[in-house]
């Protein structure tokens, strides 16, 4: 809704609604329902609960009508004002009056208190949701994009943190009634711990690189910069963020379920989408005709570092689980296997050399390459 489309009558009706909500909410402030001063109703009088239910249904209908009027073209301010006027004149006063008529004399003190709490909560929810809509409208596309990006970033961090805390040695095969799972627990833990550590080399870097994109690119977007070309680039960015979050979850799930190959496969896919995301944000969210006109900024350098940071580590798609390893992915399997010997005997080629390893190499980045974090940028 544009500011110019709001007529004085609509604005006045809205202001009246907000004022009434304030006043009615204050009248429902929790007090001792046994001493609120209302006269006891006669036995022949209709129950205030009927009035309360009717008012609540009417409020629901009017709010539904109001929402449809505001989102359905063409927007008609006069229709909105009419709906608000009905809320002001009858719905809100009736709702509050019914709540006040529910007294300890006619019911019980606890019932009357709960009635007021319900009405106050319902009013508060409408108020809170309206505040959310107001903030959404005032923030526009930039705030929406940043908000969604941060939501997915937090999900990524949570998934990685949970995987870091997961201990393969604590996993017990409850379907194995003959104790073979306990006998082979050390073998299984060796395999799972190795895959977990190597997968985390990739997964732990993803939130760090995504953080740079959010901090140095998305948070710098302003409403006045949103040309059609820039807007067209924002949805693919959000789609990639959502995909990365899902892939990290799938990688962790593969680890938990004992599907080691799936764990590494999804970690590699998450890394690939992250690279696309950072490359997509490399030049910033500006029009194509403005690229190259400005010197490289400090923000550009941070994004390039983030791209290098995630490129330096990669999964090894050539690894395949052996039949002995796959037995651990099937609950209830009691076949004895010499998995530890199979695992230790594996040789992994990397950069032209053969490296004996108890874990699956996901990349050739040595510890000397550093562990640069971007969270302070």
Return the C-alpha torsion angle 185, 190, 195, 200, nearest 10.
100
Residue ending a domain, among 107, 124, 149, is 107
Regarding whether 32 and 158 lie in a shared domain, the answer is no
Q: What residues have CB less than 8 Å from 77, skipping those under 6 apart?
A: 5, 6, 7, 9, 10
Regarding whether 58 and 189 lie in a shared domain, the answer is no
Q: How far is CA 52 from CA 47, 59, 229, 316, 327, in A?
A: 9, 11, 52, 65, 63
Provide the domain limits for residue 29.
Answer: 3-107
Token readout for 118 is 């319900």
Residue ending a domain, among 85, 107, 129, is 107
Does a structural domain hold residue 182? yes
**Strand, helix or coil at 296?**
coil
Regarding whether 183 and 40 lie in a shared domain, the answer is no
Does a structural domain hold residue 112? no
User: With contact defined as beta carbons under 8 Å apart, do 96 and 24 qualify?
Assistant: yes
Q: Which residues of the chain have pLDDT under 70?
A: 1-8, 29-45, 169-189, 286-295, 315-377
Which alpha helices (H) appear in the chain, and where do they start and end?
Answer: 8-27, 48-71, 77-86, 92-101, 109-165, 180-183, 185-203, 205-216, 228-256, 260-280, 298-311, 323-326, 339-344
Regarding whether 146 and 103 lie in a shared domain, the answer is no
For residue 25, what pLDDT is reported?
73
Regarding whether 192 and 314 lie in a shared domain, the answer is yes
Regarding whether 178 and 84 lie in a shared domain, the answer is no
**Strand, helix or coil at 303?**
helix
For residue 327, what pLDDT is reported?
41
Regarding whether 256 and 157 lie in a shared domain, the answer is yes
Regarding whether 268 and 356 lie in a shared domain, the answer is yes
> Helices 77-86 and 48-71 meet at what angle, rounded to 10?
170
Residue ending a domain, among 107, 132, 150, is 107
Does a structural domain hold residue 126? no
Q: What residues have CB less than 8 Å from 176, skipping those under 6 apart?
A: 182, 332, 333, 334
Q: How many domains does the chain have?
A: 2
**Strand, helix or coil at 80?**
helix
Greatest alpha-carbon span in the chain: 95
Does a structural domain hold residue 169? yes
For residue 363, what pLDDT is reported?
36
Regarding whether 188 and 94 lie in a shared domain, the answer is no
Regarding whether 285 and 176 lie in a shared domain, the answer is yes
Regarding whether 175 and 88 lie in a shared domain, the answer is no
- Return the CATH number at 254: 1.20.1410
Does a structural domain hold residue 370? no
Regarding whether 212 and 350 lie in a shared domain, the answer is yes
pLDDT digits (tens, 9 = 90+) for 262-294: 999 999 999 999 999 999 998 777 665 555 556
Does a structural domain hold residue 100? yes
For residue 347, what pLDDT is reported?
34
- C-alpha 114/C-alpha 326 separation (Å) is 57
* Residue with tokens 């390039």, as numbered in its chain: 304
Does a structural domain hold residue 372? no
Does a structural domain hold residue 286? yes
């Amino acid at each position: 809704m544009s500011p110019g489309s709001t007529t004085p009558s609509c604005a006045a009706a809205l202001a009246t609604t907000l004022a009434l909500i304030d006043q009615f909410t204050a009248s429902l402030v929790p007090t001792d329902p046994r001493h609120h001063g209302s006269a006891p109703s006669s036995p022949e009088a209709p129950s205030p609960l009927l009035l309360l239910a009717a008012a609540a249904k009417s409020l629901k209908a009017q709010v539904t009508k109001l929402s449809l009027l505001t989102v359905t073209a063409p927007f008609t301010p006069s229709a909105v004002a009419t709906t608000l006027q009905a809320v002001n004149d009858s719905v809100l006063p009736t709702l509050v009056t019914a709540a006040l008529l529910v007294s300890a004399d006619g019911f019980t003190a606890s019932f009357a208190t709960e009635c007021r709490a319900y009405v106050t909560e319902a009013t508060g929810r409408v108020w809170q949701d309206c505040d959310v809509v107001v903030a959404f409208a005032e923030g526009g596309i930039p705030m929406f994009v940043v908000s969604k990006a941060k939501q997915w970033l937090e999900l990524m961090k949570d998934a990685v943190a949970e995987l870091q805390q997961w201990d393969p040695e604590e996993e017990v095969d409850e379907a194995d009634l003959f104790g073979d799972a306990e006998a082979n627990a050390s073998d299984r833990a060796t395999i799972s711990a190795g895959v977990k550590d190597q997968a985390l080399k990739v997964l732990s870097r993803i939130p760090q690189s995504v953080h740079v994109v959010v901090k140095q690119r998305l948070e710098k977007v302003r409403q006045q910069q949103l040309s059609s070309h820039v807007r067209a680039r924002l949805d693919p960015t959000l789609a990639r963020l959502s995909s990365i979050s899902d892939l990290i979850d799938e990688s962790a799930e593969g680890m938990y379920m004992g599907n080691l190959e799936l764990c590494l496969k999804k970690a590699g896919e998450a890394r690939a989408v992250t690279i696309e995301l950072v490359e997509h944000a490399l030049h910033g969210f500006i029009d194509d005709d403005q690229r190259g006109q400005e010197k490289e900024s400090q923000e550009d350098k941070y994004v390039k570092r983030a791209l290098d940071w995630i490129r330096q580590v990669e999964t090894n798609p050539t690894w395949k689980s052996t039949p002995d390893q796959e037995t651990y992915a099937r609950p209830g399997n009691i076949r004895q296997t010499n998995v530890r010997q199979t695992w230790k005997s594996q040789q992994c080629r990397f950069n032209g050399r053969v490296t004996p390893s108890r874990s699956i190499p996901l990349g050739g980045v040595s510890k000397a390459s550093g562990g640069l974090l971007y969270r302070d940028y």
